[in-house]
Amino acid sequence: MAIPSFVDRVTLRVQGGNGGHGCASVHREKFKPLGGPDGGNGGDGGSVVLRVEPGLTTLVEYHRQSVRRATNGQPGRGDHQNGARGDDVVLAVPDGTVVSDADTGAVLADLTGAGSEVVVAGGGRGGLGNAALASSSRKAPGFALLGEEGEARTITLELKVVADIGLVGFPSAGKSSLVAAISRARPKIADYPFTTLVPNLGVVVAGDTTFTVADVPGLIEGASEGRGLGFDFLRHIERCAALVHVVDTATYLPGRDPVSDLDVIEQELARHGGLEDRPRLVALNKADVPDAAELAELVRDDVAARGWPVFTISTKDGQGLTELTFAMAEIVRARRAAQPAAQPARIVIRPEPARRTGPEFTVVRQGDGEGGELWRVRGHKPERWVRQTDFGNPEAVGYLADRLNRIGIEDRLLELGARAGDAVAIGGDDAVVFDFAPQVDVGAEILSRRGEDQRLESERPAAQRRREKDAAYHARRDGEGEWGEDDDE
């Protein structure tokens, strides 16, 4: 199957890099084998960023490859060496790209303006090493925190052409010919319907005003419901400052006339919605044909009665094009003067739990239908702490228990009637489940207090033996000295 050259809608899977794990290390050197914790932090994972590139006009690159991943952060190392941060993946998109969540349909960002960017999948945070976890009460942590996983989501990219003027009309009305006549664009032009299969953009200069014109292909009756090509391309005129109806006054098709063509196109625009406030201009095209020029004069007053400026034009001999382009330029100038200059901005999308306000956690009692109870704890902090914990390290599990108790989860469970032995789950589908044991020190199997190392507080056996030998030597010397003095007397 051939890959199209123009793609204006794609679905993309993006994955941020995972954060590197922290390092649990103890500084060692000659005559100082236990010099304290020196484990470095893990590096943050890279993010997936969308950035507007003015030169792009299609999303075809993501049609070919629909999965993009950022690199992971590196783990920390001993000697206070932090892991390297993962590289960001910057994806170039055309100006006018709308980013939405493919699962929920929520619009995440509307990227307009060169340099505008949005972080669609943030990298995971790197875990802290034991050097960063050390404190006055926890002098030698024997554990480190794990790095967090990067965000993953499926997004939809939808291109809405950023043009000042949109040309609408039936197929073969002369829209592409008008673009070619007033700009340097050279779209495909032929005498059969649906010659134009993609929107064409042209840059027009009228006096001291430069603006862009977009030709929207495939509008016929029923376009807003999927007939023709209008269903796919109607969105490309949503950003236009004004719409120009290009009307074919020389059509040979039965049942077609300029007024009925206007009514059909306006009906489709109304069904699409959101274009009611756009100024309209009407271009009665193909005035170079004798019968068409006469028809244009007959319907001119009827069209003007709707309050729209009317221009009789010919893309073949240039009749009326100057007046039309300057009328377009006047609308564009007025719109630009009324709008503030857009400033490129970096948008960072954060998951909903990180933005919520209120309690740090919630506890819900759930029954299993057989007399057992399950207490489910949800909250950004406790769920994040669980993901950072190495459950193969008893000291790390004890540190997690201390953190959970610090924000009051154990007290809240007791208030709600939880009893020892009840199942407690922290998180959603991938929750960590454990038995509730209030007032039990999880790290009790450690001989010292959690986060301390008795080896750093007590003397090494070699030092004790040397101290004993020194004491015995001094005792003998002092004893011999006293005996020697008595003997001299």
325-371 pLDDT tens trace: 999 999 989 888 887 665 655 666 655 544 455 578 888 888 765 65
* Strand ranges, E, within 269-422: 280-285, 310-312, 346-348, 362-367, 373-378
Residue 156, annotated ligand binder? no
Residue 194, annotated ligand binder? yes
Q: Mind listing the pLDDT tens digit for each residue in 185-215?
A: 665 554 434 444 467 778 888 888 888 888 8
Decide: pTM greater than 0.75. Answer: no
Angstrom distance (rounded) from CA 286 to CA 312:
8
Residue 322, annotated ligand binder? no
Residue 348, annotated ligand binder? no
Residue 310, annotated ligand binder? no
CATH fold for the domain made of 9-159? Spo0b-associated Gtp-binding Protein; Chain: A, (2.70.210)
Q: Mind listing the pLDDT tens digit for each residue in 272-302?
A: 777 888 889 999 988 888 888 888 888 888 8
β pairing state of 209-215 and 200-206: antiparallel
Residue 176, annotated ligand binder? yes
Which H helix or E strand runs over 43?
A: none
Give pLDDT, residue 127: 94
Residue 169, annotated ligand binder? yes
- Enter the DSSP assignment of 37: B
Locate 255 and state its tokens.
């049942």
Strand order in the sheet with 117-121: 89-93, 48-52, 117-121, 346-348
Angstrom distance (rounded) from CA 385 to CA 391:
12
CATH architecture, domain 165-338: 3-Layer(aba) Sandwich (3.40)
Residue 316, annotated ligand binder? yes
Residue 66, annotated ligand binder? no
Amino acid at 339: Q
Residue 216, annotated ligand binder? yes
Residue 260, annotated ligand binder? no
Residue 73, annotated ligand binder? no
Residue 71, annotated ligand binder? no
Between 461 and 122, the higher pLDDT residue: 122
For 467, residues 6+ apart whose C-beta sits below 8 A from its C-beta are 459
Residue 172, annotated ligand binder? yes
Residue 287, annotated ligand binder? yes
- CATH superfamily name and code, 357-454: GTP-binding protein OBG, C-terminal domain (3.30.300.350)
Give pLDDT, residue 488: 45
Residue 170, annotated ligand binder? yes
Give me the percent of the chain exceeding a pLDDT of 90.
23
151 pLDDT above the threshold of 70: yes
Residue 218, annotated ligand binder? yes
Q: Where are the domains of the chain?
A: 9-159, 165-338, 357-454, 461-488
- pLDDT tier at 450, thresholds 50, 70, 90: very low
User: pLDDT averaged over the chain?
Assistant: 80
Residue 198, annotated ligand binder? yes
